[in-house]
């Protein structure tokens, strides 16, 4: 019998993944006085710090193509959400196997959903931050343009590359205790190699390939294009990012499935 592929497996076990994600979200708030409010306060605090540093101290500006000057905080947040979604998922995935020994010992438990659970938790926080972005966008700048309807399509590469990398990291985390530290460095590098705090045009030409080959780059560029320029970006880089993300998604799943048989022996 053929084993299910990544999409089939995730769909088959979606109900279980949702329950585990809800449990993890609730556990994060347990014993906290402010509870769910931290989901709102944390991005607001980080946004304030980044805005002060890059918008006030470094005088960051991001004029739109129509001559308007959107608040730098909104431009920053539109890219930061995606990078943090990637970073949170991968960071949690680095310890997800060692943190769920009871599941690993169960032969029939679908371990491949554990990184997906990490992704769902990160999506929950990103969705709240996204709602804050849209609220501030409408209040401080203007009503969202019609081009914003393309956002769901532009975001497709994000879950693919995020889950693919998360499967790689989760499998390595079972065998290497240093994976969490290496992942922290990797996530930081990905943040600064994504055009979050700067426009890709500001990168010197000889180094621009480092930014362009990041699958998150065309997505961030596309999101900002539809929100602040009201136009679709060039789609060729997006299609390349989609293809690369799909390959990473498939390879990550295959790597996880190939290595999972040894998890119980090393944890």
The ranges of the chain with pLDDT < 50 are 1-2
Residue 45 belongs to domain spanning: 7-261
Distance CA 256, CA 28 (A): 26
Phi/psi region, residue 147 (left: phi>0; alpha: psi -120 to 50; beta: rest), is alpha
For CA atoms 25, 30, 35, 40, give the dihedral sign: negative
- Tell me how many degrees the CA angle 121-126-130 measures, rounded to the nearest 5: 150
Report yes or no on 1 lying in a domain.
Answer: no
Distance CA 252, CA 126 (A): 23
Q: Under a CB-based contact definition with an 8 Å cutoff, are residues 186 and 87 in contact?
A: no
Q: Whole-prediction pTM value? A: 0.89
Report yes or no on 45 lying in a domain.
Answer: yes
pLDDT for residue 105: 82
Report yes or no on 63 lying in a domain.
Answer: yes
Report yes or no on 2 lying in a domain.
Answer: no
Report yes or no on 267 lying in a domain.
Answer: no
Q: How many CA atoms lie within 13 A of 24 on its CB side?
A: 24
Tokens representing residue 48 in the block: 């304030």
Report yes or no on 266 lying in a domain.
Answer: no
Distance CA 110, CA 99 (A): 15
pLDDT for residue 71: 79
End-to-end CA distance of the chain: 29
pLDDT for residue 135: 87
Q: How many domains are contained in the chain? A: 1
Report yes or no on 42 lying in a domain.
Answer: yes
For CA atoms 174, 178, 184, 190, give the dihedral sign: negative
Q: Please report, for residues 27, 50, 131, the alpha-carbon distance to residue 251 in angstroms, rounded to integers and kept in the order given.
A: 31, 35, 33
Report yes or no on 174 lying in a domain.
Answer: yes
Distance CA 117, CA 109 (A): 14
Distance CA 51, CA 104 (A): 43
């Amino acid at each position: 019998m053929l084993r299910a592929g990544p999409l089939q497996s995730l769909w088959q076990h979606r109900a279980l993944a949702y329950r585990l994600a809800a449990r993890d979200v609730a556990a994060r708030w347990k014993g906290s006085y402010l509870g769910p409010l931290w989901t709102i306060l944390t991005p607001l605090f980080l946004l304030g710090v980044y805005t002060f540093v890059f918008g006030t101290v470094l005088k960051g500006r991001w004029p739109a193509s129509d001559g308007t000057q959107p608040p730098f905080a909104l431009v920053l947040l539109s890219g930061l959400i995606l990078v943090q979604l990637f970073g949170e998922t991968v960071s949690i995935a680095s310890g997800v196997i060692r943190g769920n020994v009871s599941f690993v010992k169960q032969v029939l438990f679908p371990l491949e959903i554990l990184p997906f659970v990490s992704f769902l938790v990160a999506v929950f926080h990103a969705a709240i931050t996204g709602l804050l972005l849209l609220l501030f966008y409408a209040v401080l700048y203007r009503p969202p343009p019609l081009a914003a309807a393309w956002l769901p399509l532009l975001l497709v590469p994000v879950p693919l590359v995020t889950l693919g990398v998360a499967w790689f990291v989760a499998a390595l985390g079972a065998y290497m205790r240093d994976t969490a530290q290496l992942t922290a460095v990797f996530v930081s590098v990905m943040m600064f190699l994504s055009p979050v705090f700067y426009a890709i045009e500001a990168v010197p030409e000889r180094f621009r390939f480092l930014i362009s080959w990041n699958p998150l780059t065309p997505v961030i560029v596309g999101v900002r294009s539809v929100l602040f320029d009201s136009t679709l970006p060039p789609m060729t880089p997006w299609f390349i990012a989609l293809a690369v993300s799909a390959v990473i998604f498939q390879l990550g799943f295959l790597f996880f499935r190939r290595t999972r048989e040894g998890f119980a022996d090393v944890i």
